[in-house]
Amino acid sequence: MDKKLSLEDKVISEPNSGNDLFKHPHRRFNPLIREWLIVSPQRLKRPWQGEVEKRVEEEKPTYDPACYLCPGNERAGGKQNPAYDSIFIFDNDYPALLPDTPPAKFEEQNLLLAVSEYGIARVICFSPRHDLTLALMETADLTRVVHAWTEQSRQLGDLPNVGYVQIFENRGAAMGASNNHPHCQIWGQETIPNEPTKELLAQADYLSTHGNCLLCDYTSLEMRDGSRIVCQNSEWLVVVPFWAIWPFETLIISKSHLGSLSDLNSNQQETLADILKRLTTRYDNLFEVSFPYSMGFHQTPTTGELYPAQHLHAHFYPPLLRSATVRKFMVGYEMLGNAQRDITAESSAERLRALSEIHYHRAEPFPT
């Protein structure tokens, strides 16, 4: 090759067309954050000699006397949990952000910049049962979790100093979760964090250029195409996004143009619970292990401004790659260049789609 080809010089290909773009190294664009990633499907043939973690799945008790989050137990900070029987919400004993932060700012030569940040951090325990996960909870109980998310989003978002509410769950030691008890965190903070900021700008630009919502258009496209769909119900679509970075990354998108969890009606709350259970069950069934992930919702900021382009969605970022013991690391090229994946989004979606929605723990044993 004696000159660099421009994007215009490259042959336009249809997905699965004769020129096999998706079988060779290629770049894909993430329109939500306007960043590229590299897809290298040919690398799946390489041998693996890296770390192999032992898969140890010990039976968990329904109540753990040593757990900081189980009902009736004393927490690390010395407070005692009530004997709760459903959802339990408390202010984080070790919050990253504090409500009594004095406002202050520091700047030097446009090179050093620091600004105080106000915030409130809470923990939401999903269930009194230590041994459960979203996948193992009943849909009715999951609906109560969704209801707590909507109520907390509304409550924190209504506070005068809160401009953004971030809900997230770290599940499993592989993702740094400090506790096995089913729980998530919710932070209400003054400013909009980096990831939603990138998405909000991209969605606003898309709306002003195309006159439509980015994720409404993307939802229609994926529903027409079908190759990246994992599962869906009347209100929610789950896809491995075209631009997924993590091997089995998924995006849950509301089929209606809603901005926030606090906009959900009761049917949308119930159907969100249904789709969460179905997706997390598929994840667990993939390698027959309690699947680790970080997940969270991106919703409308509560700064008081209008964000008509913002479309409610949840990201699931699971690290497992080819088994219960081999995970993807975001290191090397990814720290210094950009994200890269081997398995294509379409093949990940195909594998997730083929899995049962009956959890392997709950499945009937095979007849012998």
> Binding of ligand H2U at residue 76 (CB under 6 A)?
yes
| Tokens read off for 137 | 């909870």
- Out of 32, 69, 120, 230, the residue judged to bind Zn ion by CB under 5 A: 69
Say if residues 279 and 231 touch (Cβ distance below 8 Å): yes
> Binding of Zn ion at residue 216 (CB under 5 A)?
no
Which C-beta is closer to ligand H2U: that of 72 or that of 103? 72
- Out of 62, 86, 178, 266, the residue judged to bind ligand H2U by CB under 6 A: 178
Q: Which region, judged by CB under 5 A, interacts with Zn ion, from 21-29, 106-114, 124-132, 139-147?
A: 124-132
> How many residues are present in the chain?
368
How many residues bind to Zn ion according to rule CB under 5 A? 6
Tell me how far apart the alpha carbons of residues 184 and 145 are, in angstroms, rounded to a whole number: 10
* Catalytically annotated residue among 183, 298, 311, 313: 183
- Binders of ligand H2U among residues 114 to 133 (CB under 6 A) are 123
Which C-beta is closer to Zn ion: that of 69 or that of 252? 69
Tell me how far apart the alpha carbons of residues 1 and 55 are, in angstroms, rounded to a whole number: 47
Q: Which region, judged by CB under 6 A, interacts with ligand H2U, from 13-21, 175-183, 221-229, 252-260?
A: 175-183
> Binding of Zn ion at residue 130 (CB under 5 A)?
yes
For residue 265, give the 3-state DSSP assignment: coil
> Binding of Zn ion at residue 67 (CB under 5 A)?
yes
Tell me how far apart the alpha carbons of residues 347 and 122 are, in angstroms, rounded to a whole number: 37
Which C-beta is closer to ligand H2U: that of 153 or that of 232? 153
* CB-neighbour burial class of residue 84 (10 A; exposed 0-12, middle 13-18, buried 19+): middle
Which C-beta is closer to Zn ion: that of 70 or that of 345? 70
β partners of residue 91: 122
Which C-beta is closer to ligand H2U: that of 94 or that of 333? 94
Nearest-CA neighbor of 228 among 25, 28, 19?
A: 28
Q: How far is CA 104 from CA 101, 189, 303, in A?
A: 9, 15, 19
Tell me how far apart the alpha carbons of residues 297 and 156 are, in angstroms, rounded to a whole number: 15
> Binding of ligand H2U at residue 72 (CB under 6 A)?
no
Helix, strand, coil percent content, the chain, rounded in steps of 5: 25, 20, 50
CB of 170 to Zn ion, least distance (A): 15
Which C-beta is closer to ligand H2U: that of 315 or that of 341? 315
- Out of 77, 82, 103, 337, the residue judged to bind ligand H2U by CB under 6 A: 77
Query: What track of x and - describes contact with ligand H2U for positions 191 through 220 (by CB under 6 A)?
Result: ------------------------------
| Tokens read off for 205 | 């630009």
Tell me how far apart the alpha carbons of residues 241 and 227 are, in angstroms, rounded to a whole number: 10
Contacts of 152 (CB under 8 A, 6+ apart): 89, 122, 124, 165, 167, 186
* CB-neighbour burial class of residue 52 (10 A; exposed 0-12, middle 13-18, buried 19+): exposed
> Binding of ligand H2U at residue 170 (CB under 6 A)?
yes
Tell me how far apart the alpha carbons of residues 71 and 192 are, in angstroms, rounded to a whole number: 34
- Out of 57, 93, 138, 158, the residue judged to bind ligand H2U by CB under 6 A: 93
Binds 62: which of ligand H2U, Zn ion, none (CB < 5-8 Å by kind)? none
Query: Is position 183 annotated as part of the catalytic site?
Result: yes
> Binding of Zn ion at residue 124 (CB under 5 A)?
no
Query: Under the rule (CB under 6 A), what is the footprint of ligand H2U?
Result: 68, 75-77, 92-94, 123, 170, 177-179, 185
Query: Under the rule (CB under 5 A), what is the footprint of Zn ion?
Result: 64, 67, 69-70, 130, 181
What is the set of active-site residues?
183
